[in-house]
Chain A
């Protein structure tokens, strides 16, 4: 194990730093790194290089090339730079490359060199040019900070939601600051800058001078400053070769170090990790790399080549023309296990397992030692954790084997941490592969989450690997496989050299009916690429017709959209399409379309009935629907029109329509109504009172009640009111008037078509027994009993019933026999019954 810690370098008493190789780079760099603008994305992201021809005097006669490589040096994209001079490059959190031009325009490129969009940092920046720029990451996204030629700062905290903020002026600033950086504190972005011996902090309200506590005297200028990955710590490098390290709030000093090198360092970055023991800064000069912390001595490395530092969450990546290395503080678990002569439980367990493999009894001794201290659980956990931090698969394996060995001697060790670590390591080893080139550490991976990692794989078009990972980790389809397939399909539709047919078929073959895949989204993408036909083909695969509609509308296939909407059964969707169609087509075509879609038609009719009556009429006209047209006008005659003339005219139109519809009855009825209306109007004029809008029956009744019998009879004749109705009508009206004399006269005018029982009933209703009795005698035999009972003549009713020999009638009379007065009658009935039964 001695050789294992050979690359461990102690810093102070507590911490070790190690540097190991991630990849040997075989990128074919045409330029020296130092001649290029370099940007590398954190979390093992891609590297962008742009040879910087504008720095040299001999201006740009040759166009530079923008190159993008994976972290392992595989070329991802290469394109000729055709835009203006670039000041700075940087990667956003979504792995988009932001290129800040001298004129303040920021061009955004994808991972594969595809141009996405551009935005400007404002007029002020355009006028004064960009002197320097930084891309930084905040919790909202990625920000851009710009130092202009007028020594003013402009920044945007989130390029996704661009809000430019011009920072306040630094009083008396004549020249560019010697160094500056963007700081994120309390959800706001600030600028920290150094001018000579002074430090200034700019927030969006004010500029304030700040002094780091405990700064050594004699500083006349700050050469370099570095903020840690989490914005918590700050390091300052002064012209005296002195490094101050403290919190980013500048309230507290952590430590200081004097390296006695006065040359300005090329780069300075923090090298720490969450919960690290030691806070250290890595400083790079041309050929020297120094790790500095709270210790009198520093760790020094020699750099053979031009190198570039990339700060990470838990360390620093260093790449050069030939290699790509990772420098970090050795994690606790690894240190415990591998430290020379360590007696930590994990170390003993690892040893025990090795002895066990050698079939040596020492294995038992080691194991016993751990068990005696009761530290076996801890030992297993240590081995699992340490495995996560190992880069080499063979080391991972031996540590996991030790953990698994130790687990056998534990009763109840929850298996999931072990299983999860095995899974995570498999994923990590897969993506660290040279061909993939994402050198994530375990901590970075956990911070990034599997979802983001999958997104990044998709972004690199590594669909098969992403799917394999999803399947391996058994992620739910909707989040995993389907999402990736959908992305793949969206990429596929952009391949312009493949025919629509083939693309559609290929996509359908792969995707099939995978749940959670939205064909309409893919089709929308196809349409976005200008492939309308392909979009329509893809929509055919969309099982939910409702989903197809919005896109079809967008593509101006409204009629197809209409039938799809109808198919979906969603009336709202149908209505949306209808309104589209209404604006898109001329009226005639629109109506024709409706005609073929009854469901849409009735929906639209309903709307028109309330909102657009005229349109409704046109609709009926178009269809030659005379019946409905007639009804429409009838409705208008009492809903829309006020004047009698208007109403009659509306009715006339209605009657004509009914004739056309061959509905003679309705036409006649309408004509009668016209006649009645006119007549009612005349009655109002001549007699006063209200007649208009009464029904025929009520009109006649009103006349009778008003004593205009002649008029009433005339009306009845004119409108051919049947006798029965007239009798009922008069009977009711006269009884209401209590004009008994007239009623009697009326009853004798001729034989009643409704019989005389109603006369009896109505008289009794008016409580006039005297009159009722008059009519009771005239009631026909079959209703006589009923009539007699009504007037209360039980005895006579009984006689009639007995005479009729009608059992039902007898029962009815009997049920009316109440009290002592009717006792005799009741007896009579009983006797008659008995007699009847005898016979």
Chain B
């Protein structure tokens, strides 16, 4: 399995440079601070260190500042004097200093910045590790991270040459792009004349496609993320996977040979593959028999270690699969998937709605219930008022009244809305699109008006042919299109957009889709005239997801890349999944 790339596929750029840069800078910052003896996690409890100086490496959040301030003030009360240094990553915000000032510790603390914004999680995946981006921007309308994104893009273009063509869709994409361009103009000359390594860059706001992110993932890597939560490219497998009493931390990236072969596979294929692999492994072990001493020596010194390693990995993944199977069958995963597919395709809405209702009534999981409600709302262009009310009532009864705020958040973000009564579709549409153009006139405006944006999913789906018509069974072993990441039922909207734009080399001909996406003025194409990029670099594409991307999307684009001879590189504010999105929107009691 794990299809090879086309022989003419371009090489991926070397991202270890980013790691080295960040590491050197941190070492430099810490060295000024002589002898850092121990690292502690910033938690809301007193620091136990008896050291004379404390150094905090934090995200620029107000919460963290209050923690630092409380520590300093506690020391002051106890009559201790220490040196304090706060290193902000990726950058310092004025609001943070402001908090320190208001808490009366500004003079006691020295501040520094660690401009570490790009973490290479894998050979083709860069993460900014800013999960708060999603809530901050798409819910609160806070644009503070846009600057960070622009700086990250700027860093990439200085390291890997200019990008000959840029595409994007969404307000945040547009703002980030413009800011980044401005940065480039300010210190031009550096990148000029450099040969581009990366041919295209594609920026995409998460709110352009919520649907894909809300679906249950069935590709192995996505499923592992949904089930065990992958953090920073590694996952903690509990005792139920390791079948011992200890849990095991496993790095999941291309270096794990076994994982690399199954990560993009539909889950139904994984088990078969793993058992095949196990048999092969056994066969290789078995070769020992009948070896003479010399061959045996060779075998032990050269092959055994690799085989053992593979063996270990294999058993880990088999364990993970078993655990996933157990969990999924218990919750009647098939039923769930069936409902999701029905929602995507837009039939038996009534059945789906009652399924969701039952889901809520049985208190299966607050996050899951919420996800299904959102999926229903987006695919149906909002819930009809009666259902909107009844589902919300049921939900509040099941999971607690504080979720009233959750619903208000979801409405604001356009994830869970009510169909406007009486308005014909076209009337609303024209109103919305007019509003969007008006807004775009001002450079930065409030994109978060309470007026619910229509998702128009059904129309978009038809236009872009997102639901493949298949005769007979969809062969998941030999996928034909990107729909395989959702068992052949749905081609991810985000990935389809990228595919279409790359094919046309612009948004031309997609006007209707763009309008339906409420992005009238927010889709852009920018090609530099000088087309000196080599054909190889032109097939290397950087996709930037603002607000997070899922492993399913990554798998789908990897598939597209293999089909068309592209190589995709992913830059995301964070890797996300449906549960993370819903949690970001939820209000929970503190």
Contact = CB atoms under 8 A, between A and B. Distances in A.
A669 B394 contact: no
Nearest to B93: A572
Nearest to B188: A515
B179 interface: yes
Contacts of A631: 404-405, 408
Contacts of B142: 571, 602-603, 606
B404 A670 contact: yes
Contact of A544 (B186, B188, B400, B402): B186
Interface string A523-548: 00000000000000000000110000
A570 B147 CA distance: 6
Contacts of B469: none
Interface string B132-157: 00001000111110110010000000
Interface of A is mostly: helix
Nearest to A569: B179
B32 interface: no
A695 B404 contact: no
A465 interface: no
Interface string A554-583: 000000000000110111110110010000
Contacts of B326: none
B396 A669 contact: yes
Taking residues whose C-beta sits less than 8 angstroms from the other chain, chain B's interface range is 35 or more
Contacts of A665: 389, 392
Interface stretch (A46-54, A704-712, A719-727): A719-727
B443 interface: yes
Contacts of B392: 665, 669
Contacts of B136: 606
Contacts of B182: 544, 569
B98 interface: yes
Interface string A660-675: 0000011001101100
Given A571-B144, A695-B396, A724 B446 contact: no
Nearest to A676: B401
Interface string B7-23: 00000000000000000
Given A634-B405, A724-B357, A569 B146 contact: yes
Contact of A669 (B186, B404, B446): B404
Nearest to B60: A572
Contact of A603 (B143, B402, B445): B143
Given A569-B147, A627-B450, A669-B393, A605 B401 contact: no
B80 interface: no
Contacts of A586: none
B243 to A, nearest CB: 23
B358 interface: yes
A84 interface: no
B99 interface: yes
Contacts of A515: 188
B26 to A, nearest CB: 22
B362 interface: yes
B400 A695 contact: yes
Which of the listed residues B93, B392, B398 has the most CB atoms from chain A within 10 Å of its own CB? B398
B590 interface: yes
A694 B398 CA distance: 9
B405 A599 contact: no
Contacts of A638: 402, 589
B368 interface: no
A693 B140 contact: no
A669 B136 CA distance: 27
B502 interface: no
Contact of B444 (A579, A599, A669): A599
A204 interface: no
B143 A571 contact: yes
Contacts of A602: 140-143, 446, 448
A571 B147 contact: yes
Nearest to B449: A598
Contacts of A606: 95, 136, 140, 142
A697 interface: yes
B273 interface: no
A392 interface: no
A603 B408 CA distance: 19
B108 interface: no
Interface of B is mostly: helix
Given A569-B175, A665-B389, A599 B404 contact: no
A697 B398 contact: yes
B280 interface: no
Contact of A571 (B93, B188, B357, B400): B93
A575 B405 contact: no
A693 B402 CA distance: 10
Contact of B397 (A575, A603, A670, A725): A725
B209 interface: no
A227 B182 CA distance: 56
A565 B99 CA distance: 21
Nearest to B146: A569
Contacts of B394: 722, 725
Contacts of B141: 598-599, 602
Contacts of A401: none
A673 B589 CA distance: 15
A572 B94 contact: yes
B408 A669 contact: no
A728 B402 contact: no
Nearest to A599: B444
A408 interface: no
A610 interface: yes
A719 B397 contact: yes
B178 interface: yes
Interface in B182-227: 182, 185-186, 188
B361 interface: yes
Contacts of B362: 728, 732
A569 B178 contact: yes
A576 B101 CA distance: 13
B446 A567 contact: no
Nearest to A719: B397
B63 interface: yes
Contacts of B445: 598-599
Contacts of A670: 401, 404
Nearest to B99: A611
Contacts of A572: 92-95, 144, 147
A639 interface: yes
A567 B443 contact: yes
B77 to A, nearest CB: 22
A729 B185 CA distance: 64
A151 interface: no
A575 B93 contact: yes
A278 to B, nearest CB: 51
Contacts of B404: 631, 634, 666, 669-670, 673
A389 interface: no
Which of the listed residues A572, A670, A673, A724 has the most CB atoms from chain B within 10 Å of its own CB? A572
Contacts of A672: 396, 401
Which of the listed residues B140, B400, B443 has the most CB atoms from chain A within 10 Å of its own CB? B400
A695 B395 CA distance: 10
Interface string B342-380: 000000000000000110011100000000000000000
A693 B589 contact: yes
15 contacts: A567-B444, A569-B150, A606-B136, A635-B405, A635-B587, A666-B404, A666-B408, A676-B401, A693-B589, A697-B397, A697-B398, A697-B399, A725-B397, A728-B362, A729-B361
Closest 5 A/B residue pairs (Cβ): A598-B446, A602-B141, A571-B144, A695-B400, A610-B62
Interface of B: 62-63, 66, 92-95, 98-99, 102, 136, 140-144, 146-147, 150, 175, 178-179, 182, 185-186, 188, 357-358, 361-363, 389, 392-394, 396-402, 404-405, 408, 443-446, 448, 450, 587, 589-590
Given A572-B94, A602-B141, A722-B361, 9 more contacts: A544-B182, A572-B144, A602-B446, A610-B62, A611-B102, A696-B398, A697-B398, A719-B397, A725-B361
